Amino acid sequence: MSQLNGICDNYKKVKSPKDLSSPNLTVLIMKVVDCIGLYCPEPVFMARKAIEDANVGEIIEIHADDPASEQDIPVLINKLGQELLKVEKDGDVFKFVVRISRKVR
């Protein structure tokens, strides 16, 4: 796994909420953005950078443990016109799965 500024190439399959009716459909996580241990506004900056760098159709997953991320990251994703596929909380860590719907600059 290569890592560059908290953004990892990490290929992982997860079920999309829209796919729950069909257990055979999965999405491929193409990048994981690790914001663990960072506090506002850094997780938002890193998420935006990852979204800007991603290609249309890619799926990224953002991990953050800052409590403000629970609200801030979905607002960012919506504001940038991307698709939030899944949000889950694993202990203190929020995981946001995002499909890149359009190019952002």
Q: Is 96 helix (H, G, I), strand (E, B) or coil?
A: strand
10 part of a folded domain: yes
Residues in contact with 36: Cβ distance below 8 Å, sequence separation at least 6, in sequence order: 63, 64, 65, 93
Amino acid at 8: C
Render each residue's pLDDT in the chain as its tens digit; 105 residues. Answer: 333 334 333 434 444 444 434 454 567 889 999 999 999 999 999 999 999 999 999 999 999 999 999 999 999 999 999 999 999 999 999 999 999 999 998
Please give the Cα distance from 54 to 38 (Å, whole number).
Answer: 21
pTM above the 0.85 mark? no
Q: Which domain holds residue 17?
A: 3-99
For residue 62, what is the domain's CATH number? 3.30.110.40
Q: How many CA atoms lie within 13 A of 94 on its CB side?
A: 21
Considering 28, 36, 40, 75, which one is annotated as catalytic?
40
Catalytic site includes residue 40: yes
73 part of a folded domain: yes
92 part of a folded domain: yes
